[in-house]
Amino acid sequence: MADKSDVTLPLSISAGIHIGVIIILALGIDFSHKPEPMQQVSAPAVKAVMVDQQKVANQVEKLKQEKRDAERREQERQAELERKAQEAKQAREREQAQIKKLEQERKQQEIETQKANEAAKLAQVKQQQEKEKAVKAEADRKLKEQERKVAEDAAQKAAEKRKVEEAAAAKAETDRKQKEAEAKAKADKAKADAEAKAKAEAKAKADAKAKADAEAKARAQQEQEMADALAAEQAALSQTMNKQMQSEVSKYQAMIKSTIQRNLVVDESMRGKTCTVSVRLANDGFVISSQTKGGDPNVCRAAKAAILKAGKLPVSPDPAVYNLMKEINLIVEPTF
């Protein structure tokens, strides 16, 4: 207020002097015969005008400087807004790139899942073929068992026949006295034939038993091989499922970190600093609780605020995957 009055008073005086001069000139007053009074009046007036004009010039220069300072501050503010807009644009581009990468990983995961399903189908087909082979082997075994029984029946009939022949030999013995030489020769021949036949039958039985034992051993080995193959296929399928679940967990962890980064308010003091955060999630993604486990205090406060702002975080609809990620530890690192 003091500065304004200092400027206003000299301006008022100067304006009054100028108006007075104009009125005098307009009235045509002649002061040629009174030079000394004019000098006494005009000299202080001129000096006052010069002083007032200097103050006015100083005030004008001050106002111009203030305007230049305001314009400079406005330019700096505009530059800061443009810088923040550029940073936001770059953040959006990074987020879009991350989303694109996650989409590619999802498609790759679908391809791997399809391959695993096809492998499982092939395993089922192979298992069915092995089962059919086992059924055929069992049928062959039953057929051979029937053949063995037929051979035993034939041996039994041969034994009965031998008994008949022995009876005939006994009858011939009663007639030996009459035809001793002929009967003895016939009996010896019949006995030799019977022994040879018995040996042949015994050998046939032994061969049949050895063959049956070999077939049983081969069948047991085949069943063991089928069981081993099935166990290997089950292990491979389990490994594939575990790999898929870990891939799903990694994908949703990346999505959660991306969501936190979008809501993270950062400043220059956070550059290069991190914070470890433990988050508990409901099965719909609702944040039950979040705790900081260590790191920069500013980053930790910003991370907790970002999680609170998000409210919900991405989780897998698969219960098995959710169980692996319902309690997760994340490293939050501000990006610039």
pLDDT digits (tens, 9 = 90+) for 95-127: 888 888 888 888 888 898 888 888 888 888 888
- Torsion 14-16-22-27 (CA) sign: negative
pLDDT at 315: 92
pLDDT range class, residue 183, cuts 50, 70, 90: low
Q: How many CB atoms lie under 10 A from the CB of residue 154?
A: 12
Cα separation of the two ends of the chain: 47
Give the residue with greater pLDDT, 83 vs 12: 83
Which tokens in the block code for residue 190? 């019949």
Among 151, 152, 165, CA closest to 195: 165
pLDDT of res. 324: 87
Task: Decide if pLDDT at 321 tops 50.
Answer: yes
**Per-residue pLDDT at 21:** 45
Q: What is the mean pLDDT of the chain?
A: 79
pLDDT > 50? residue 166: yes
- Polymer length in residues for the chain: 336
- Name residues whose C-beta falls within 8 Å of residue 246's C-beta, 6 or more positions apart in sequence: 324
More reliable by pLDDT, 35 or 83: 83
pLDDT at 314 over 90: yes
Confidence (pLDDT) at 302: 94
Q: What is the 3-state secondary structure (H, E, C) of the chain?
A: CHHHHHHHHHHHHHHHHHHHHHHHHHHCCCCCCCHHHHHHHHHHHHHHHHHHHHHHHHHHHHHHHHHHHHHHHHHHHHHHHHHHHHHHHHHHHHHHHHHHHHHHHHHHHHHHHHHHHHHHHHHHHHHHHHHHHHHHHHHHHHHHHHHHHHHHHHHHHHHHHHHHHHHHHHHHHHCCCCCHHHHHHHHHHHHHHHHHHHHHHHHHHHHHHHHHHHHHHHHHHHHHHHHHHHHHHHHHHHHHHHHHHHHHHHHHHHHHHHHHHHHCCCCHHHCCCCEEEEEEECCCCEEEEEEEEEECHHHHHHHHHHHHHHCECCCCCCHHHHHHHCEEEEEECCCC
Which tens digits make up the pLDDT trace of 210-255?
Answer: 888 888 888 888 778 777 777 777 776 677 777 888 888 889 999 9
Give the model's confidence band at 3: pLDDT under 50 very low, under 70 low, under 90 confident, else very high.
very low
